[in-house]
């Protein structure tokens, strides 16, 4: 699976304002958008990298429309921390096998 990384993203900047964090990564389909973290720093932060790769897999598994719909629904109902997609991504962040078969451009 091919994954793309885009630095200095305004989408990630908006997300970081919403989540009240300084740096931020956000996934749309097979692209990870970064704000105030370089690609190099991101790739070196294995837990963060694995977390975001899990989101790429979720987009693919669910399909874009269903993923967005469910993600937003869960966020409203359960909040960010208890969103099942975030729980799955947090577990994946500890699993190095999650990066198998992933190529990053």
Shortest Cβ 55–Zn ion spacing (Å): 6
Binding mask of the shown chain, residues 58 to 97, with x at each position contacting Zn ion by CB under 5 A: ----------------------------x--x--------
Residue nearest to Zn ion (CB): 89
Shortest Cβ 91–Zn ion spacing (Å): 11
Closer of 21 and 96 to Zn ion (Cβ)? 21
- Residue 12, judged by CB atoms within 10 A of its CB (0-12, 13-18, 19+), counts as buried
Shortest Cβ 74–Zn ion spacing (Å): 12
Shortest Cβ 26–Zn ion spacing (Å): 8
Q: Contact positions toward Zn ion, by CB under 5 A?
A: 86, 89
């Amino acid at each position: 699976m091919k994954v793309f990384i885009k630095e200095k993203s305004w989408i990630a900047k908006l997300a970081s304002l919403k989540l009240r964090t300084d740096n931020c990564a956000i996934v749309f389909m097979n692209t990870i958008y970064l704000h105030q973290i370089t690609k190099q720093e991101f790739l070196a932060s294995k837990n963060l990298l694995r977390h975001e790769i899990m989101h790429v897999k979720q987009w693919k598994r669910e399909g874009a429309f269903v993923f967005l719909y469910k993600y937003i629904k869960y966020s409203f109902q359960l909040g960010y921390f208890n969103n099942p997609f975030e729980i799955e991504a947090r577990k994946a962040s500890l699993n190095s096998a999650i990066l198998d078969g992933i190529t990053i451009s």
